[in-house]
Structure 1
Amino acid sequence: MAFNAKKIFPIDTKARQAVGVSLPFSGKAVFNNTFLTKDAIRSNLINFFLTEPGERYENPTYGGGLRSFIFEQLTNENFDFLKEDISQKIASFFPSVAIGNIEVLDNPSRNEIIINIVYDVVDTGITDTIEIAFPN
């Protein structure tokens, strides 16, 4: 009888095998490795949203495109559009990531927008949150 079976990524069972690199690039040898799938997915999502579409030569549609909102007027309609845009892009580029909640906040005192994304990785039990702040 099966019940709530979770996928465990085989590479997560090998303690010293790196899965990817973490952000920011500030390690002793430029890169810090990630050793768990949870950390690699988190870094990949942050990298995706800090990349503008067209920056990657071989994949021109890759990127979150958040910088295009830097000079936009801060309104609830823009925030709703931003939430929908983020949801669609994650569904497109990260099909194994399910969005739990997206919160877009403005911080007028620092002139920035803060995006909090709570997500789950399907069938793994991995839940995490990322926060991205960028100037407006």
Structure 2
Amino acid sequence: MIALAALLLAAAAPDAQRGTLAEAARAFDDAQFHHDRAALERFLAPDFLFVTGKGEALGRDGFIAGATTPGEVLEPFVITHHRVEPQGADGGVVSGEGIERGTQDGKPFVSHFRYVDAFARRHGRWVVVYTQVTSLPRP
């Protein structure tokens, strides 16, 4: 009975992946900030490619592992120069610049970067097919 209620609530909740590109991009960013493995698994396409700030090419599993690292605590941060560029009805590019601060196992860190996320609508849902991060000098 409880499982059925949970399924009904989930079905009734707004699904950002079926909304606008901007809504999907916000939800994808939120999933990363909150280390939400389940949401990331829903958002990342099976053929997802991630190019890190060091130029390393990783797949879906590598991105999820990095975004859900145990011991990482992020401070709230703001994305600047944020752009949402629809590319037809079923695609789009989202980009911006961020300064991320937090701790990893109690040790503080800061990273400054630009990013681009390429989204595609597949089976009526937005998924991320490509992400590239460019590392910038620390602020």
Q: Same fold (TM over 0.5)?
A: no
Comparing both structures, which one devotes a greater share of its residues to strand? Answer: 2
TM-score when normalising by structure 2: 0.29
TM-score when normalising by structure 1: 0.29
